[in-house]
Chain A
Amino acid sequence: AQSVTQPDARVTVSEGASLQLRCKYSYSATPYLFWYVQYPRQGLQLLLKYYSGDPVVQGVNSFEAEFSKSNSSFHLQKASVHWSDSAVYFCALSMSHSGYNKLTFGKGTVLLVSP
């Protein structure tokens, strides 16, 4: 069965610092991978997604993620965080053989950006 693990429940970084949020997945084939962000009292919003091609994928608000098949990882990165990036971040996968696109989520990482 497929699974997603986000090992860090909470990450605190200073404004202007770089960021990496970790995501590991377990799936027998190549999955579709997603990063979503949730701001308070809002729905999840897609940051970026990956299936094939260049393992570094660019997303909104200068986020990017790097896919590694050998490490079964899809880590989210940002070179310089802003206080408004404080939110909950979810990594998710969709199985390539399923036609209905159900998502399997990690537990989420709470990002706090301190001034």
Chain B
Amino acid sequence: GPKVLQIPSHQIIDMGQMVTLNCDPVSNHLYFYWYKQILGQQMEFLVNFYNGKVMEKSKLFKDQFSVERPDGSYFTLKIQPTALEDSAVYFCASRKGGGNYAEQFFGPGTRLTVL
């Protein structure tokens, strides 16, 4: 079936540095999401993105976070500067359309470790 790719699979970074997580969504999808999962906790919604804009974001989406998808390329999550509490697995998802019943397709996640 359709696959979402995430690059890299694991990123280790020093606190205060910038990091960009990359997501290659399914080619004809229009809605994009980031979720965050801290070890031992549930996956939590960060942000969704449609038509070049952030449509909804959670309290976890701090001012240091930003998302973009320039020219239909990767959908990226940038954190600048990083903090220790940003260590987590970040999952990207995409869907074609279809409202709240439509399937989101997920990538395998990027494990971010902030030292």
Q: Please, which residues of chain B bring their CB within 8 A of the CB of A102?
A: 33, 45, 48, 56, 58
Q: Which residue of A lies closest to B6 (CB)?
A: A43
Given A43-B3, A107-B41, A108-B42, A101 and B106 contact (CB-CB distance below 8 Å): no
Q: Please, which residues of chain B bring their CB within 8 A of the CB of A58?
A: none
A1 to chain B, nearest CB (A): 11
B2 to chain A, nearest CB (A): 10
Name the interface residues of B2-20: CB closer than 8 Å to any CB of A: 3-4, 9
Interface membership of A99, Cβ < 8 A: yes
A33 to chain B, nearest CB (A): 10
Given A43-B106, A43-B107, A104 and B45 contact (CB-CB distance below 8 Å): yes
Interface membership of B80, Cβ < 8 A: no
User: A49: which of B4, B31, B55, B101 is its contact (CB, 8 Å)?
Assistant: B101
Contact with B along A1-25 (1 / 0, CB 8 A): 0001000000000000000000000
Question: Dominant SS at the A interface?
Answer: loop
- What is the interface residue range for chain B against chain A? 20 to 34
Interface membership of B91, Cβ < 8 A: yes
Q: How many A-B residue pairs have CB under 8 A?
A: 66
Contact with A along B72-115 (1 / 0, CB 8 A): 00000000000000000001010100011111111111000000
Residue contact B108 to A41, C-beta cutoff 8 Å: yes
Residue contact B42 to A43, C-beta cutoff 8 Å: no
Q: Please, which residues of chain A bring their CB within 8 A of the CB of B100?
A: 32, 94-96, 98-99, 101
Give the A-binding residues of B (Cβ under 8 A).
1, 3-4, 9, 31, 33, 35, 40-45, 48, 50, 55-56, 58, 91, 93, 95, 99-109
